[in-house]
Amino acid sequence: MNCIIVDDEAAARAIVSQLCSNVSNLNVMEEFDSAIEAIKFLNQFKVDLIFLDIHMPGFTGIDFIQTLKNPTKIVMTTSDTEFAIASYEYEAIVDYLVKPITQERFNKCLQKVKNSSSAISARASDGSNDPEGGASVEDLYINIDRRLIKLKYGEILLIEAKGDYINIKTNTKDYLVHTTLRKILDKLPEDRFLQIHRSFVINFNKIIDIEDNSVLIEKNVVPISRSNRSELMQRLNLL
Amino acid sequence: MTETPNLKYLDDLAQGDEGFRKKFIGILKEEFPSEKQCYLDAMENGFFREASEHVHKIKHKLNVLGVHKSYSLAVRHENELRKGGNKYHMDFLSVLSEIEAYLKTI
């Protein structure tokens, strides 16, 4: 089983790494002191398990979970039991370890990971989930050079107006389509897509972070206009 | 501080792995003073919320070092800082000094 450790505290990472080394068939692929770095890694590599600290400055463990594209089992690690209830709202979370973690408790946790019937993997294998881990597949067909190309909503990162065209950015490719931002916005689900600037519509589920007047979507920094800012802020699940 | 820091948790964790034991002590010696300084800077500037983040990190180390009363103090201090209060600051400073002194002995 391949895992990664995400914690901003070096001592905490060293402890989890040591706990892992005492268990056979558990390989620590990488350790990260920031959730953003871990997300970049997960965009390239598949892991079976993530040990994730909840309480990290800026981008928390909960923010991290919300940006995960692929369902992966997660074990939360933290000093605060008060976060436990919130963390169990997420299906991917298998267990919750309170620091300092003992080997005995860690071993029980791994047993739990192994025993977890993994609705997550089941969904992944039957192909019924979209890239965001949602339950349903919803598509949009775009017309490019007389070809209709199917895009899943979950693939779309953002859409940018380019004169008479729009540029649909996905993880793998950009699509230039002859239409307007307004027309495509009407075709997309309101709960997932939001116009944050006169030239930009974003997939709300792809937000990594928001800083001042811009949003980070994967590697794209997208401006937020003053008039759209309040709607964006209202839709955030702010602490 | 009426309790003495110890390495019992570390020894249990290391299970005789001397390499890990040394490495972990090295991390504590490096990370703790830096976290302490960040905490002091934040307090000096009146950034209580930021200071609470540093207390959060430090409190894990207090648990690791087996000083559970100090850990409880850190929990209270972190909560108080989040609410904008600093009434545990002096007590917490004393804990920090004790830990710093202990880390120099190991």
3-state secondary structure B80-97: HHHCCCCCCHHHHHHHHH
Strand, coil or helix: A7: coil
Distance CA A61, CA A210 (A): 16
Q: How confident is the model at residue A19 (pLDDT cuts 50, 70, 90)?
A: very high
On whether any CB of chain A is under 8 Å from the CB of B64, the answer is: yes
The closest of A203, A183, A206 to A193, measured between CA atoms, is A203
Asked whether the beta carbons of residue B31 and residue A11 sit closer than 8 angstroms, the reply is yes
Tens of pLDDT, residue by residue over A148-162, are 788 888 889 999 998
On whether any CB of chain A is under 8 Å from the CB of B77, the answer is: no
Which of A28-32, A105-109, A134-138, A180-184 shows the lowest per-residue confidence on average (mean pLDDT)?
A: A134-138
Residue A125 pLDDT: 46
Q: Complex ipTM, two decimals?
A: 0.92
* A14 and B27 Cβ atoms separated by less than 8 Å: yes
Question: What is the pTM assigned to this prediction?
Answer: 0.64
Asked whether the beta carbons of residue B60 and residue A79 sit closer than 8 angstroms, the reply is yes
Tens of pLDDT, residue by residue over A51-95, are 999 888 777 787 788 777 777 899 999 887 666 666 666 778 888
On whether any CB of chain A is under 8 Å from the CB of B81, the answer is: no
The closest of B13, B9, B37 to B100, measured between CA atoms, is B37
Q: How many helices (H) and strands (E) does chain A have?
A: 8, 15
* A56 and A67 Cβ atoms separated by less than 8 Å: no
Asked whether the beta carbons of residue A55 and residue B17 sit closer than 8 angstroms, the reply is no
Which of A170-174, A192-196, B20-24 shows the lowest per-residue confidence on average (mean pLDDT)?
A: A170-174
In eight-state DSSP terms, residue A182 is: H
For residue B18, the one-letter residue type is E
Asked whether the beta carbons of residue A100 and residue B63 sit closer than 8 angstroms, the reply is yes
* A163 and A174 Cβ atoms separated by less than 8 Å: no
Distance CA B63, CA A77 (A): 14
Closest residue in B to A98 (Cα) is B60
Q: What is the CA radius of gyration of chain A?
A: 20
pLDDT exceeds cutoff 60 at A130 = no
Asked whether the beta carbons of residue A79 and residue B17 sit closer than 8 angstroms, the reply is no
Residue A87 pLDDT: 61
pLDDT exceeds cutoff 80 at A211 = yes
User: Chain-centre distance of CA A231, in angstroms?
Assistant: 22
On whether any CB of chain A is under 8 Å from the CB of B100, the answer is: no
pLDDT exceeds cutoff 70 at A131 = no
